[in-house]
Structure formats: C-alpha cells, structure tokens
Chains A and B, each alone.
Chain A
Amino acid sequence: MARALINVPPKAKRGDVIEIKTLISHVMETGFRPDNTGKPVPRDIITEFVCKYNGDEIFRAELFPAVAANPFIAFSTVATESGTLSFEWTGDNGFVASESVSITVE
C-alpha cells in the first residue's frame, strides 16, 4: 500500500471553502524512459484520482505520464456538513489506494 498524505483542516465553519492537499508515493513511471538495455521501462502510473465527501463525488482527476512522481494534488471544497472525505487513487497494474479523513463542520 502506497503511503498517502492528506491535509484537511479538522474543523471548519459551515459554508467555508477549505483547501484539501493530497500526496501519494508512486513512481509514475512514464513508459518513455529507456533502461540500461535500451528497452523502454513499462508504464506504471496512477490514472485516476477521486475525492468523495460523504459519498458524493466532489473532485476527479485523470492523470497522464506527464504528472510528476509522487502525485500532489491540491483542490478545494465547500464545508457543508460533518462527515468523512474519502480519497481513492487507481492506476496501472491494478494499483488501488484509498484514504479517508473526518471533518467537523460547525
């Protein structure tokens, strides 16, 4: 399981725009780099990232080989209700990682 770092404010006022920062460890091998025999190293990247707020999708990203290793994505959402934010990354070779954090909205 890849290590993921999530930064979400633990508490927020209702209606506030909060920033969500995510970072996951992954090589993001492009498939264009040659190894020492000259053959290109097979592609191994994260292709999709989804963020859900209490089950509703609020943000989705489609990633290509041009995204840097250890993909960092920062985005924002409106704090509507207390609950959980769940994050899921899927990629090549059956890569799946998920993480969730709870948020208290006052």
Chain B
Amino acid sequence: MTRDKDNLRTTRRRFLLEATGLGGAAAIGLLAVTTRPAWSTPASMRAAIRQVVGDAVVNKGRVKLDLPPLIENGNAVAVTLSCESPMTAEDYVKAMYVFTEKNPQPNVVSLYLGPRAGRATVATRIRLADSQKVIAIAQMSDGSFWSDEVEVIVTLAACLEGV
C-alpha cells in the first residue's frame, strides 16, 4: 500500500516535472517562432524624445493630450492633441509629437503645423500595445518644448495577434 502510494507520488511528481518541462520547451519554441522584436522601453522613449528636443528643457503644460484612460481595443484609439497658442505669425505651434513607452517603437506620430493652422488641434487614431504611459510634446515657434502625459489601461492590445 505504501509502495503504491509512493509510486503514485513519484508518477505525479514526474508528471508535473515533465509537464513543466514540456511547457517550458513550448514557450521557448514559441519565442523562437514569433521572434518578437525588442519592445520600446522608457529608456528608448526618452532617447526618441531627446532626438526631437535635443538639449532643450521640456516644460509641463500648455499642450493637452486627450485620450480615454481605459481603452477596450488598442487597435484604434482616438487621440486629440491640442495646444494653447494664439497661432499668430509670431507665436505659433511648430510641431506636436506623440510617444509611447511600450509599443514596439516609441514614435507614434509627428505633426508639423504652422501659423496658418488657426487652431493647434489635431485628432488621429493610434495603436497601443499595452497599458502604458503616452507622452505628447509640442514645439513652439520660440523653440520651447511643452509636454503632457497620460497613463492608460489597454484591455485588448494591438500588434500582438497573428494574421
């Protein structure tokens, strides 16, 4: 009886061991098959932002990034960027940028406006791969940079599914 129990225990243990081994192998196989590219990290996002702003100081405020805090479907997220500016020939918004922390690439969209825009508001639709921080940066005609950030929760992520 004890022997039987022992046998049972070993088989169960072996079973579990084998199962985890199999699972691990499958996971490795999956990784090898999907060959997922390196996701952007907060560091690579900072690098991408640095590429745009250079050594300039990025202030908080003036620009507003409007997107829902809870996103059901990351494949198409409506985003509105707006910036406080008189939009005259002397004082206008030159460009607006959107960056993400955890998408495969940190850049999302770069928008170049001019004094003829009349109003510094642009709306578009973007993809979000994960719950993450989204940052908007605006460049004014005087060379100053302003930013806004939004923390979002994404239920269904974009770019993960196969074809």
Contact = CB atoms under 8 A, between A and B. Distances in A.
B126 interface: yes
Interface in A14-63: 17-18, 30, 32-36, 38-41, 53, 56-63
Interface residues of A, number: 36
B47 interface: no
B117 interface: yes
Contacts of A67: 108-109, 124-127
A85 B115 CA distance: 17
Given A35-B162, A36-B162, A62 B109 contact: yes
B51 interface: no
B112 A60 contact: yes
Given A34-B33, A53-B116, A78-B116, A65 B104 contact: yes
Contact of A58 (B76, B116, B119, B121): B116
A33 B126 contact: no
A72 interface: yes
B2 interface: no
B116 A80 contact: yes
Interface string B123-141: 1111110000000000000
A40 B125 CA distance: 23
B27 interface: no
B162 A59 contact: no
B105 A65 contact: yes
Interface of B: 33-37, 75-77, 100, 103-105, 107-114, 116-119, 121-128, 158-159, 161-163
